Chains A and B, each alone.
Chain A
Amino acid sequence: MARFVTRRLVGMVVVLFAISVLVFLIFNVIPGGDPGKRICGKNCNNALLTQINKDWGFNDSLPVQYVTMMKKVFTGELVSYSSQLNVDQQIKKGIPITFSLCIGAAVIWMAFAIVFGYLSAVKAGGFTDRALTILALVGISMPVFFLGAILLLYLTSKIQLFPTAGYVSLTSDPVQWAYHLFLPWITLAVLFVGFYSRVLRSNMLDVMNEDYVRTARAKGLSERQVRIHHVLRNSMIPVITLFGLDFGAVIGGGAIITESIFSLNGVGQYAADAITNVDLPPIMGVTLFGAFFIVFFNALVDITYAWLDPRIRLGTEAR
């Protein structure tokens, strides 16, 4: 187990390194993105440009520039080229918003996915199943910006049920916090509810054919016990895996569109703005932040998986 964890950690570091190189390269092959000129601004002259390039180290070779940038990432000194603001602080500002959005949405999507998936599998082939299947597929097929737009249009404008935008912090007013975040939560969750309920349904149908489910019935457990204790429990293992990956992805920038539609100044919105400005340091910061969560949850999932499935826990190796 210790070896396993070590290997996972080393893998994490390698992947993060590779991602940072990739981001750095993507934004350094852009000829039009000369950061010196951007910082220099409108009233630029050659002397100023030379000075800036020297100060920021833009004349150094790419590897040196990369190392300098990574040093700043780790010391928290990364500064935006365009706004000159500290990247770490900007990300930290966005974190409570992004976390509120993602955690709330995750709770909603898991709860509904489990209920829908369970009902769908138990009533497989029946009306409930078919209706839920169609609903799920509609959810999967809905672009997030479209769903968000429809909700905004009908629930904040035509019927003024919810506030259009804005964020109220949890600590200042929990009720307003939830009220303001309700539509964003739904918007972000719908896709996952559809997707996860489908996955859970198909897993449960597979598990229902397993021999141990027959054993559970044969030993006189009630149908409910069989379904929840044996079928659902075993079907949840792959769902948990997916959840880890997706939750990491959503926190790590996957909620950009939801954030921008509902004017939530979270980490995703910050990244989107930075990308539009071709502003490398924030992009690097946010990407590493996002990738860290994805990789971290990846590792967490493997460990949870091992905890849920003793064959792996006590076996020599996962995967």
Chain B
Amino acid sequence: MSEQLLSVRDLRVRFTTEDGIVHAVDGVSFDLAAGEVLAIVGESGSGKSVTAQTIMGLTRSPNARIEGSVAYRGRELLTADDEELMRVRGEEIAMIFQDPMTSLNPVYKVGDQIGEAIQAHRHESDHKAREQTIELLAAVGIPDPSKRVDNYPHEYSGGMRQRAMIAMGLALEPTVLIADEPSTALDVTIQAQILRLLEQLNRDRDLAVIIITHDLGVVAEIADRVLVMYGGRIIESGSLEQIFYDPQHPYTWGLLGSLARPDRPRTMRLSQITGQPPSLLAPPAGCHFRPRCPHAFDRCTRVPPLETRVGENHADRCWLSVEQKKTLRVVKTGEIGLEAPAA
């Protein structure tokens, strides 16, 4: 088994706001192995982005309470001082964000923003940093990088900006790349290119990737392992196959049921999960999904479900028994998610 890079234990993040305390992340635990592609799936407000940003120490603020543990190769990050955190950021863990337009500073050249990252960590000459930047831009597939390095972000297309963001992330050769909705703001064709690029970097550089998305299509395309988040908690985790072929949690069923598929008759209505995500200001007692769950019973109202192991590396948080789930699950194995597994 490959080395565990990142280990998150019982992470809780709360924010004090004008309206009350927001329980953004509520007891999240997971591991990330070297070279692995881990997808965190969930609706907006499920706590997936906050989880990712907390790993990087980006949610630190006077009105945030962060508890639990985030360890990178055994080094605790939650309590790390600024200097230590600075060294981890970029050099060990890099992050790219959803909207590449707003994520790049509009007043600096793209190349300078990448070079800035290099020079902040390594004492390189301007010339050397520039050369490295050009190499990086070439590596992420920016055409004519020696010219493009002097362009401003608004002169790039959306896809190129995201590539530049990825180049910036790669600048210090990190071992983990966190991609927060990296393709959401892009056109469908560009989305695929970006995912291809991430896949290729994962393969060629043995880069571990945490990809955060609400799009199961993205997950299917790239992930090794999947965490499904809902209302600040991980409600199901497992390998890609397990999640797609043997989903345990009713919320996962709902997500899979709402996936558009080309092999279904077009007359079929996509299913939907009725209701709205829970208010993180005052999450419902017991299971967070309970108010929207068609299978909820009295126990769900009272006690938050514990993690249940349903297979090797496959766990969920639901009070239904495995048998109940098999009968209640409307979508049949093999008919959801991916194309049928090759025989």
Residue ranges of A at the interface with B (Cβ–Cβ < 8 Å): 125, 210-212, 214-223, 225, 229-230, 233-234, 237, 308-311, 314-315
Determine chain B's interface SS by DSSP, over half rule: helix
Are the CB atoms of B117 and A221 closer together than 8 Å? yes
Q: Are A218 and B106 in contact (CB under 8 A)?
A: no
Cβ distance B337 to chain A, nearest Cβ, rounded Å: 32
B175 vs chain A, min Cβ distance (A): 14
Chain B 35-51, CB-CB to A under 8 Å as 1, else 0, gives 00000000000000000
Q: Which residues in B have some Cβ–Cβ distance to A below 8 Å? A: 53, 56, 58, 62, 82-83, 86-91, 94-95, 97, 99, 102-107, 116-117, 120-121, 152, 154-155, 165, 168-169, 171-172
Tell whether, in the assembled complex, residue A214 and residue B120 are in contact, meaning their CB atoms are under 8 Å apart: no
Query: A220 touching B105 by the CB < 8 A rule?
Result: no
CA distance A215 to B103 in the complex (A): 6
Q: Using Cβ atoms and an 8 Å threshold, which residues of chain A touch B97?
A: 211, 214-215, 218
Q: How close is B115's CB to chain A, nearest CB, in angstroms? A: 11
A220 contacts B104, C-beta separation under 8 Å: no
Interface centre among B56, B116, B121, B165 (most CB of A within 10 A): B116
A287 CB, min distance to chain B CBs, angstroms: 37
Task: Among A218, A230, A233, find the residue whose CB has the most chain B CB atoms closer than 10 A.
Answer: A218
Q: Which residues of A contact B103 (CB under 8 A)?
A: 211-212, 214-215
In whole Å, how far is A53's beta carbon from the nearest beta carbon of chain B?
Answer: 60
Query: Please, which residues of chain B bring their CB within 8 A of the CB of A314?
Result: 152, 154-155
Question: For the complex, what is the distance from the CA of A234 to the CA of B105, rounded to whole Å?
Answer: 9
A215 to B110: give the CA distance in the assembly, Å: 13
Report Cα–Cα, A271/B332, bound state, in Å.
Answer: 89
For the complex, what is the distance from the CA of A217 to the CA of B89, rounded to whole Å? 8
Min CB gap A276→B, angstroms: 48
Q: What's the Cα separation between A218 and B176 when bound, in Å?
A: 12
B83 contact set on A, CB distance < 8 A:
222
Neighbouring A residues of B105 by C-beta, 8 Å: 212, 215-216, 230, 234
A309 touches B106 (CB 8 A): yes
* Distance A178 CA – B90 CA, assembled complex (angstroms): 49
Question: Closest A-chain residue to B90, C-beta based?
Answer: A220
Of the candidates B56, B116, B155, the one whose C-beta lies within 8 Å of that of A221 is B116
Cβ-defined contact, A218 with B86, below 8 A: no
